[in-house]
Chains A and B, each alone.
Chain A
Amino acid sequence: MKFAVIQFPGSNCDQDCVSGINSIEGLQADYVWHKETSLRDYDAIVLPGGFAYGDYLRCGAIARFSPIMKAVISDARTGKLVLGTCNGFQVLCEAGLLPGALVRNRSLRFVCEMVTLRVEVPDSPFTHGCPEGTVLRMPIAHGEGCYFADAQTLHELNHNRQVIMRYADDRGRVVPEANPNGSIENIAGICNREGNVFGLMPHPDRACDARLGSADGAKIFQSMMQTIEAAHVRAA
């Protein structure tokens, strides 16, 4: 099963993503330069973290116009799984594939730490094997990770169960103290209405090996693999 990891000029977690994905048996990740125009050969797409185009203007604002984004958007529309971590989440929001936006952390500080996340939607394509309330540990590293959406959008996100993960304490309680960046309602990751595009500020790619502090991120990639396998079985 092949995953594409998009490389924008300024991406810096592309190697983390490729190495994290390749550590999972059955998955193979390739780098895909942002000037490419097709993702036909891939089962899933990953937009990595970093500072695409230096984050000039706004995070992800220029990256969303890269040639590859046309393919990302059209493949997303056909139901292909798309994962955006950190800067990749920002790019997905700017591209209109996910609602809302990511703005400057409320503290005005760049935060780089391990966080705990509560899985809110256990049956999403990205969270198989994580019963509701599962607490995952993953690192974050960002200056603009404060999720914002207007009241209407927020209502729809909750109503349609699109909030996949929230920042929580280590017992899974969604409390203000566990919110590292001021995100509205402690939102750490959301999916689109159809459920096949998922963006989150934490880094599953940097949490695929217990020796690095956590292997919980691997569960996201494994879940994607299971989802794609199940779709293949259905199609056959």
Chain B
Amino acid sequence: MKVNVIVKPKEAVLDPQGNAVRDAMRHLGMPEVRSVRIGKYMEINLDGEDADLEKRLHGLCRDLLSNPVIEDYELVKTNGARKTSAIRKKQK
């Protein structure tokens, strides 16, 4: 099984890095940019594929891969080759 994990700062958490990038984008001629939030993207390859594995994976997303105090995570199953399109679809 292949999964992508996306970790994002929670709405209430200030993201100074995102703000710096937002300001740079505006500075480079894109005043339309309203906000930028910077998170993390992880590609994970696993042996096997079943509900139990996915449940354990969610557990580790909460305990290790993200800190629920400051971050939200999203777990997206992919078929490997189509992973980029899966991400693109999510952003729409």
A residues whose Cβ falls under 8 Å from a Cβ of B: 57-58, 61-62, 65, 93-94, 99-101, 103-108, 146, 148-150, 182
Which chain B residue shows the least CB distance to A149? B69
Least CB distance, B19 to chain A, in whole angstroms: 9
B residues whose Cβ falls under 8 Å from a Cβ of A: 9, 12-14, 16-17, 20, 40, 64-65, 67, 69-70
* Complex: A105 Cα to B14 Cα, angstroms: 10
* Complex: A149 Cα to B12 Cα, angstroms: 10
Q: Is B14 in contact with A100, judged by CB distance below 8 angstroms?
A: no
Chain A residues contacting B16 (CB-CB under 8 Å) are 104-108, 182
Q: Is B12 in contact with A150, judged by CB distance below 8 angstroms?
A: yes
Least CB distance, A83 to chain B, in whole angstroms: 21
Chain A residues contacting B20 (CB-CB under 8 Å) are 108
* Complex: A65 Cα to B16 Cα, angstroms: 28
Least CB distance, B82 to chain A, in whole angstroms: 26
Least CB distance, B20 to chain A, in whole angstroms: 6
Q: List 29 A-B contacts (CB under 8 A).
A: A57-B40, A57-B64, A57-B65, A58-B67, A61-B67, A62-B64, A93-B69, A99-B69, A100-B69, A101-B67, A101-B70, A103-B13, A103-B14, A103-B70, A104-B16, A104-B17, A105-B16, A106-B14, A106-B16, A107-B16, A108-B16, A108-B17, A108-B20, A148-B14, A148-B69, A148-B70, A150-B12, A182-B14, A182-B16
Least CB distance, B68 to chain A, in whole angstroms: 9
Chain A residues contacting B13 (CB-CB under 8 Å) are 103, 148
Chain B residues contacting A65 (CB-CB under 8 Å) are 64
Chain B residues contacting A61 (CB-CB under 8 Å) are 64, 67
Chain A residues contacting B17 (CB-CB under 8 Å) are 104, 108
Q: Contacts A61-B64, A108-B20 given; indicate if A101 touches B14 (C-beta within 8 A).
A: no
* Complex: A108 Cα to B21 Cα, angstroms: 12
